[in-house]
Amino acid sequence: MKKIAFIGLGNMGSPLCQRLLLKYNVDIFDINKSNLKTLETLGGRIVKDLQTIANNDFIFLCLPTSDIVESLILGDKGLAKHLKEGTSIIDMTTGEPKITRKIENILSEKGINFVDAPVSGGPKGALNGTIAIMAGCKKDHYEKIKPLLNVISENVFHTGDVGSGHSLKAGNNLLNLICRIATFEVVSLLVKDGIDPNTAVEVIQKSSGRNYATEITLPDNILSGKMFQGFTTGLMNKDATIALNNGELLKTDLPLGKLSKKILQETIKKFGLEADMSNVALTFEEKNNIRLRPNN
Ligand code: NAD
């Protein structure tokens, strides 16, 4: 039987771990104990220290940032001190390719496998078993971990060597941000010209300007008045920054990405880093003196 652990059981880690609990016993660890209660009732075994976690063969991580991953693994009392040769660490954090490659370099010298496997599709996609998982590692190691990742989701992809999963995930989210800002901009113009926002979005969705914002973001979260997507401005800001930092490193010109991040700052300045991404629509409403949400 595979010995499995999961560290970081927040909004995203918890549903990912719930999928693993359908098939395996899982050791769970989080600095916030209250996040472990539900998983314990589902069969998770709460573990109090990293030394015990290190007894497992496959250790999943879903932490806020790569800096936290680095200190958890390589810090003074870090996981690396206790790991045995042959262990696989599967990092589902939305992380930074540069830090990921650095950690992998250090761990590979000890015979430990480090894989970046970030996800896209939100907590709901995780629970449904459809979330996209982007695994960056050598092909032979990918074949070894793929059956385990398939317990979490049917949509598992090998993206290339270590770091490529984190690169692709951040690139995807930067593209999502650019498309969202561009769509809000054009729909604001059309509303200003007297067109109903529902009509504008419905027609674009059937025309050549369609994208995720016309298919999902606007109809489901803004035009419906729900104003909740379950993804914060802070997380989007982090992901855009990772992609833009990668662009600097690789000397790639990303003018639209930079501008979109700058426009996102207007929403962050007003609503903070914990605000839902739906609030970006309010910034466009205010700037252009229009209404995208329903009137009541
Ligand atoms: P979260 O803040 O809800 O969860 C993070 C968890 O990590 C918390 O339970 C926290 O207590 C724990 N933690 C922090 N430092 C720790 C440490 N040193 N040791 C042990 N546990 C520690 O965040 P989240 O929304 O679950 O996001 C986690 C990762 O998943 C992020 O990298 C995020 O970008 C990514 N992600 C989130 C979503 C989403 O919709 N929430 C979607 C895709 C990807």
pLDDT for the residue numbered 88: 98
What distance in Å separates the CA atoms of residue 218 and residue 112, rounded to the nearest whole number?
Answer: 44
Q: Mean pLDDT over all residues of the chain?
A: 97
Is residue 238 predicted with pLDDT exceeding 80? yes
Of 33, 47, 63, best ligand 1 pocket probe by most atoms within 8 Å of the beta carbon? 63
Is residue 230 predicted with pLDDT exceeding 90? no
Is residue 147 predicted with pLDDT exceeding 80? yes
Q: Residues with Cβ within 6 A of ligand 1?
A: 7-13, 30-32, 35, 62-64, 68, 72, 93-94, 119, 122-123, 230-231, 235
Of 6, 30, 274, 277, best ligand 1 pocket probe by most atoms within 8 Å of the beta carbon? 30
pLDDT for the residue numbered 2: 86
Q: Model-level pTM?
A: 0.94
Is residue 221 very low, low, confident or very high in pLDDT (cuts 50, 70, 90)? very high
Is residue 185 predicted with pLDDT exceeding 80? yes
What distance in Å separates the CA atoms of residue 157 and residue 26, rounded to the nearest whole number?
Answer: 23
Percent of the chain with pLDDT over 70: 100
What distance in Å separates the CA atoms of residue 88 and residue 218, rounded to the nearest whole number?
Answer: 40
In this structure, the dihedral spanned by the alpha carbons of residues 203, 207, 209 and 212, taken in order and rounded to 10 degrees, is 70
Instruction: Identify residue 274 by its one-letter amino acid code.
Output: E
Atom of ligand 1 nearest to the CA of 32: 11
pLDDT for the residue numbered 59: 98
Is residue 87 predicted with pLDDT exceeding 80? yes
Is residue 1 very low, low, confident or very high in pLDDT (cuts 50, 70, 90)? confident
To the query of whether residue 77 is one of the catalytic residues in this protein, the response is no
What is the rounded average pLDDT of the residues 173-183? 98
The residues facing 156 across adjacent strands are 133
Is residue 37 very low, low, confident or very high in pLDDT (cuts 50, 70, 90)? very high
What distance in Å separates the CA atoms of residue 84 and residue 91, rounded to the nearest whole number?
Answer: 17
pLDDT for the residue numbered 296: 73
What distance in Å separates the CA atoms of residue 50 and residue 73, rounded to the nearest whole number?
Answer: 9
pLDDT for the residue numbered 283: 97
Catalytic site residue from 2, 169, 238, 262: 169
What is the rounded average pLDDT of the residues 17-39? 97
